[in-house]
Structure 1
């Protein structure tokens, strides 16, 4: 029930923007990670707090690096290794173990649709 109540408090009718309450709405992002703007009682947009946007962008980047690196042609992988040979590296198996990810988990992941 708490999740539903929390979700409902994040709904903002678009009419509030028309009533000059934009500053008040944006102030709410200091305490809430996102707000959902409703137009005609339907979700129309999501406003993210800067910290939440950065957090989600980093998750997406990490995901793309993890999944994308498994599909690189061997020549590209060798080039990257050669370019970074003097830099410390963490084996992928160690990273996957740290995050509790298995090869089976990776096989189940669908390709993201980015528009």
Structure 2
């Protein structure tokens, strides 16, 4: 898998050890994350809170959709009581 990252969003990790963290954080804009490079490879991505919350919400919706699909397909386990479910989870 390859990652395409705009050049103007890349910041070497050494920037953070030289007091450049605040400048790197200031570059983070809505929809424009900063990519932190380690050994010339994209390693970390800095996003603003709004983008993170959108990403997290999309992840939750995807997980819920998968759970619905599994239920509709009859996959998974069926429990007759909460205790039975607890026993299964503790095993």
- The normalised TM-score by structure 1 is 0.53
| Maintained 8 Å contact 2:33/2:47 | yes
| Maintained 8 Å contact 1:33/1:52 | no
Instruction: Kindly report structure 1 stretches of 4+ aligned residues shifted beyond 4 Å.
Output: 73-76
CA distance in 2, matches of 1:65, 1:31: 26
Between the two proteins, the alignment pairs up a number of residues equal to: 72
| Maintained 8 Å contact 2:12/2:36 | yes
Shift of 1:51: 0.8
Shift of 1:32: 5.1
Q: Which runs of 5+ in 1 are unaligned?
A: 77-115
Q: How does 1:39-58 map onto structure 2 within 5 Å? A: 39-58=38-57
Structure with the bigger percentage of helix: 1
2:16 is aligned to 17
Distance 1:16 1:22, change over 3 A: same
Q: Which runs of 5+ in 2 are unaligned?
A: 79-91
CA distance in 2, matches of 1:32, 1:67: 27
Shift of 1:30: 3.6
What value does the CA root-mean-square deviation take over the aligned residues? 2.5
Residue 70 of structure 1 aligns to a residue whose secondary structure is helix
Q: How does 1:87-102 map onto structure 2 within 5 Å? A: none
